[in-house]
Structure 1
Amino acid sequence: MSGRPRRRTGFDPSTRRRTPGVRRDELAAAAGVSAEYIKRLEQGQGRPSAGVLYVLARALRLSRPEYEYLCSLAGHVPPGAGRSPRQVGPGTRRLLDRLGDTPVCVNDAAWTVLAWEKLGCTSIGSHGRDRNMAWRAFTGDQGRTTRTSEREVRFQSSIVTDLRATALRYPDDDWLRDLVTDLQAVSETFADLGQAHVDTRYQDDQVTIRHPDAGDITVDYDIMTIHEGDLRAVVFTAETGSADAARLAVTQGRHSDRR
């Protein structure tokens, strides 16, 4: 990931494929992947990342509608011409309502917090970079949350993987481009992970929250992608019947405002 000049997606609905059929090895070479990888995809084994899907579509010279259909089949949001969406839609609002007392925060595709529910136990910045989880993860400003070193490395790797895919989907997003450029400048870890091209997916994780009244609360959290608006929902839970669950419940009773 690097601060490159602006570029368009290269997909024009009026563009036709230059060749009716492409051999597997030709497609692999054009897309920069192995022929064996293409074979596995053809057999329905595995799911291509947004980045791989993008280069495959370019190699196949797909039209814009064809590319968008391919994205929908693979469960990805196609690139937008401008900025990544930064609105919480009605479907997401209903999801927040149905989660009841479960703490959750909703982020855009660049990992900036847009909304949160029952999350008074964490510190969230008031504006700009202070509200961006990627920025805070790589600049040492995690607020009141801590992870083990192993979990922190895994979390950072997954953030880089997701930001790389987001940058491909929204190549004209100046805010996102500036975020990536600044992270590369201030964080050697971010720069190294970006160059390594390690594809780390979200996994179940655990974090300890230092609450000023309830003390330390260890919670599990899961990250869900909401296709409406290309959002990320982070859901926090504690083991039923545990002391952490009891402490978490107390904090939710004190903090019930939605932002």
Structure 2
Amino acid sequence: MERQEFGVAVRQLREATDPADVGLPGGRRRVRGLRREELGELAGLSADYVRRLEQGRSHPSAAVVRALARALRAGRAEYEQLSALAGYAAADGQVPHELGPGATRLLERFPGTPMIVTDAGLDLVAVNSAFTALEHWTLTGHRWEWNIAYRTFCDPFEAFRQSPADAADHESVLVGSLKSSVLRYPADTSLAALVDELRTRSRRFDTSWRSPRAVGVYESAATISRPEGAVTVVGNMIALPGDDLAAVMLTAAPGSADAARLAELVGAAGGPAVVRVGRSGPG
């Protein structure tokens, strides 16, 4: 009975989800909501497995429940209902770290553009080989060596420089992101420890935390020093709300000397489109 009720709940959410709300084309459709194939792709599951779940012929893991809830943009109450029907307790305010299918596809489709993917706590989850080709992200062995906010405020990169205006915008975006994440994930002790560390070690962070400054659009430039010459890139953030991740793409002005230098660096790099990272380094 519980499997059947879980399947009914998934089907109802699927049929009630507007394709446009999850980044899919709308238009005229013969059925309401998402197709099983579309839900499967968004959640990283096969359409046949989604069918078996909806028919009550398979029992999902807790990770599958979370993936379905993220893919369907389910609210907290809906996620808790799905978890209960599947026999699990809902995750209580923990930052998700999984590299979802949407982020994976984004990295795979832009192998020649330096790109990173971060979770809601601003820890890097994955990068591509084009990003590692820049060779500016040095590792320190510190607990938060892969965290953008920590590296920006407490342990900046020697080869990474920004103008005062770009640095101010960049820092404001980081602080605003963390404040939002703390509200969404109040039980995540690692996130709370990170914020405490930043407020203790960085006066700039603490001041911005107490008096945050809104930034309309996140686009800031930075110059990365290289032995063969510096290259200036612009970072643009892309939100991936289904997995609560964000991607940052680094590009140079079209036709510029920086664009040519960046293309040379990336072209000589090689390597996989998706490089998972963590506390122990790329892997």
Partners of 2:138 and 2:185 in 1: how far apart?
A: 24
Whichever residue aligns with residue 227 of structure 1, its letter is: P
Q: Which whole-Å CA distance do the structure 1 matches of 2:194 and 2:138 have between them?
A: 16
Superposed CA deviations along residues 96-127 of structure 1, whole A, max 9, x for unmatched, are 11113111111111111111111110433546
Whole-angstrom CA distance in 2 between matches of 1:125 and 1:114:
16
- Indicate which of 136, 144, 150 corresponds to 1:123: 136
Shift of 1:151: 1.1
* Contact 1:122-1:209 within 8 A present in 2 as well: no
Aligned residue in 2 for 1:87: 98
Using the alignment, how far apart are the partners of 1:193 and 1:65 within structure 2?
33
| Cross-structure match for 1:133 | 148
Q: Does 1:189 align with 2:204?
A: yes
Stretch of structure 1 that moved more, 200-209 or 92-101:
200-209
RMSD: 2.3
Deviation at 1:199, TM superposition (A): 2.9
- How many angstroms does 1:198 deviate by? 2.8
In the alignment, structure 1 residue 176 sits paired with structure 2 residue 191: yes
What are structure 1's unaligned runs of at least 5 residues? Answer: 1-62, 69-78
> Structure 1's 131 and 187: CA in aligned 2 closer, same or farther, altered over 3 A?
same
Higher relative contact order (CA 8 A, sep 6+): 1
Select which of 208, 227, 231 maps to 2:241. 227
CA shift, 1:165, in A, is 0.2
- Quote the Cα distance in structure 2 between the aligned partners of 1:88 and 1:249: 26
Say whether the 8 Å CA contact 2:239–2:246 is kept in structure 1.
Answer: yes
Q: CA deviation at 1:67?
A: 11
| One-letter code aligned to 1:124 | W
| TM-score relative to the length of structure 1 | 0.66
Distance 1:94 1:64, change over 3 A: closer
Q: Which residue of 2 aligns with 1:96?
A: 107
CA distance in 2, matches of 1:256, 1:143: 25
In structure 2, what is the Cα distance between the partners aligned to 1:137 and 1:91? 27
Match of 1:208 in 2: 223
**SS of match in other structure, 1:131:** coil
Q: 1:142, CA displacement in angstroms? A: 2.4
Q: Which residue identity lines up with residue 77 of structure 2 in the other structure?
A: P
8 Å CA contact retained: 1:161, 1:201: no
Task: Tell me the distance in 2 between the aligned counterparts of 1:139 and 1:197.
Answer: 18
1:66 positional shift: 8.1
Distance in 2, Cα, partners of 1:240 & 1:247:
11
* Amino acid in the other structure paired with 2:229: G
Structure 2 match to 1:106: 117
2:161 is matched by which residue type in structure 1?
T
AA at the equivalent of 2:113: T
Structure 1 residue runs of 4 or more that deviate by more than 6 Å after TM superposition? none
Provide closer, same or farther for how the CA distance between residues 192 and 211 of structure 1 changes in structure 2, counting only shifts above 3 A.
same
Which runs of no fewer than 5 residues in structure 2 stay unpaired?
Answer: 1-74, 81-89, 276-283
Distance 1:104 1:218 in 2: 15
Name the CA distance, whole Å, in 1 between partners of 2:135 and 2:163.
18
Q: How many residues align?
A: 186
Q: 3-state SS of the aligned residue for 1:222?
A: strand
Relative to 1, partners in 2 of residues 1:196 and 1:172: Cα closer, same or farther, differing over 3 Å? same
TM-score by length of 2: 0.61
Deviations 1:35-93 (A, max 9, x none): xxxxxxxxxxxxxxxxxxxxxxxxxxxx953899xxxxxxxxxx962321112112211
